[in-house]
Amino acid sequence: MCPLILTILSPDKYYYGKVLLDNREVLNLNDFNQNEGKEVLKGKLNLDCVFVHYFIKELILSCIYRNNFLKFVNTSDVLPRNLILQETKRDLIDYRWNEHVCFLIREKCELDHALSWLSTLGGAFSALGDYFEKCADTAGKISVNQLKLAIRLGDPNIASRCRLYLSLSLIQKKKYKLAAKIIEAEYVTSKCAIIVDERLVRMCKGIWSKLQYEYSLYRKNKGLKS
């Protein structure tokens, strides 16, 4: 099939560009020769600008549609090579997308609200976790729920903090090896990030210091008991 060049213009002959169609891809030709205009404008077709937008988009996205279109053009001389954009008669409102965006915004607000409540509640249980193991266990569960919300929000920094909160709970429950792995992983990730969050780095160092202190106390108490 022979390639096809479509020229897109306004009613007053302003060139928006040219599109080259072949069976493999669609190319935008911005380096067209304006001297070709008189020759090319012999055949033209007036089309709604919105229709032209979706028409070109479909040619780009669908290989089957593009090949069928080229086959039709090559076997008939019906379609002019110049598309003259006309002002759309109706302003289109995408109600379905609008509802989807409203849902996403509302969901994010609710997730932010839930995350703030869990953060307050988790902080309280974490403070008591140094004295009561059940509180440390509850703080860990809250951190896991916070992590799920952070992943849902798509915020890697908040997700990293939630994992560090979980490591605090593990330290309180004397699961030092697992806590150390989490802290090390988050520290490496935070240092290798494109934009380094210094607060997150300092948070890793602070929790690591707590881990070292708690582990030294644990070993000391274990040595006294033995």
Q: How many domains are contained in the chain?
A: 2
Q: Are residues 169 and 217 in the same domain?
A: yes
- The pLDDT assigned to 37 comes to 43
- Residues of the chain with pLDDT below 50 are 31-41
Q: Is the same domain home to 82 and 141?
A: no
pLDDT at residue 40, rounded to an integer: 43
pLDDT score, position 79: 63
- CATH code, domain with 191: 1.25.40
> What is the pLDDT at residue 77?
65
Q: What is the domain extent for residue 38?
A: 4-86
pLDDT score of 83: 79
Model confidence, pTM: 0.55
* 106 and 13 part of one domain: no
Q: What is the longest distance spanned by two Cα atoms in the chain?
A: 100
What are 44's two structure tokens?
A: 């033209």
What pLDDT, on the 0 to 100 scale, is given for residue 1?
A: 59
Question: Within a 10 A sphere around the Cβ of 88, how many other Cβ atoms?
Answer: 13
Say what the pLDDT of residue 34 is. Answer: 46
Same domain, 82 and 109: no
What's the pLDDT at 14?
A: 75
Q: Pick the last residue of a domain from 27, 54, 86.
A: 86
